[in-house]
Structures are given as C-alpha cells and as structure tokens.
Structure 1
C-alpha cells in the first residue's frame, strides 16, 4: 500500500473556493479503481492548513491517479489557493490487523 500526505497552506480569503475545488478532486479520486482511502483533514493547531491523506493499492494506482484528468485539473489551479508550495510525502506501508 502507498500512503501519501500532502500538506496545503491555503489563503484564508480563498478557503471556501479551495474547499469547493478540492471536493471535486476527492469525489473523483475515491472512485478510482486503486484507491483505498482519500481524506482531507484540517489542522487544529495551524490556521488555513490542510492535510490530504491518501491510501492507494499500489504504485500503479498512484501513477494512474497522478495522470487523471481530475488530478491534473486540480494541480493546475492549486497555486491560486496556496500560500506555500505543496509539501508531499509518500510512504510504503501495510495494514496491521490486531
């Protein structure tokens, strides 16, 4: 499983517009075949900071997602909403059942 954390610092005046734009990305991404989970979380201790937490079945699913029309469309308009470059970390992991 591939886990991706993408931190976004959003311009406060454009937060509502950002949330509308990212909603489309989330819905389309969740419908992708290799998606396990796709969630947007808001930081409680940092104003205007969001964390996208993605889980993908494998690297091929990540590659397909990154090439998708909905992802490319969001990436093209994201700089409008962000006050800093997107911070992305990717991890390889596996589910541990207790």
Structure 2
C-alpha cells in the first residue's frame, strides 16, 4: 500500500473557494479503482493548513491518479489557493493484524 501525505498551506482569502473546489478531487479520487482512502484533514495547530491523506493499492494506482483529469484539473488551480509549495511525503505501508 502507498500512503501519501500532501500538506497544503491555503490562502485565508481563498479558503472557502479551495474547500469547494477540492470536493470534486476528493469525490473522483475515492471512486478510482486503486483508491483505499482519500481524506482532507484540517490542522488544528496551524491556521489555514490542510493535509490530504491518501492510501492507494499500489504504485500503479498512484500513477493512474496523478494522470487523471480530476487530479490534473486541481493541480492547475492549486496555485491560486496556496501560499506555499505543496509538501508531499510518500510511504510504503502494510496493515498490522492484531
């Protein structure tokens, strides 16, 4: 499983528009065949900071997502919402059985 954390620093004046725009990305990404989970979380310690937490079946699913029209459309709009470059981290993980 591939886990991606994408931290976004959002312009305060554009926050409402960002939250509206990102909904299509979330909905479409969750519908992708290789998606396990796709969540947008708001940081409670840092103002206007959000974390997209993504889980994908494998690297092939990540590559398909990155090439998707909904992802590309959001990436094209992102600079007008963000005050800093995306901070992206990717991890390989496996569920732990208890």
TM-score > 0.5 by shorter chain: yes
Equivalence for 1:5: 5
Structure 2: how far apart are the matches of 1:86 and 1:96?
Answer: 29
How big is each residue's C-alpha offset from its partner over 1:22-50, in whole Å with a ceiling of 9 and x where there is no partner?
01100000000000000000000000000
Superposed, 1:61-76 pairs within 5 Å as 61-76=61-76
Structure 2: how far apart are the matches of 1:5 and 1:37?
Answer: 12
Which consecutive residues of structure 2, in runs of 5 or more, have no partner in the other structure?
none
The count of residues paired between Structure 1 and Structure 2 equals 98
Which consecutive residues of structure 1, in runs of 5 or more, have no partner in the other structure?
none
> TM-score, normalised on structure 1?
0.99
Structure 2: how far apart are the matches of 1:50 and 1:75?
Answer: 15
Structure 2: how far apart are the matches of 1:67 and 1:79?
Answer: 18
Query: Any idea what SS the aligned residue of 1:84 has?
Result: coil
Question: Which 4+ residue blocks in structure 1 deviate beyond 3 angstroms?
Answer: none
How big is each residue's C-alpha offset from its partner over 1:34-67, in whole Å with a ceiling of 9 and x where there is no partner?
0000000000000000000000000000000000
What's the Cα RMSD here?
A: 0.3
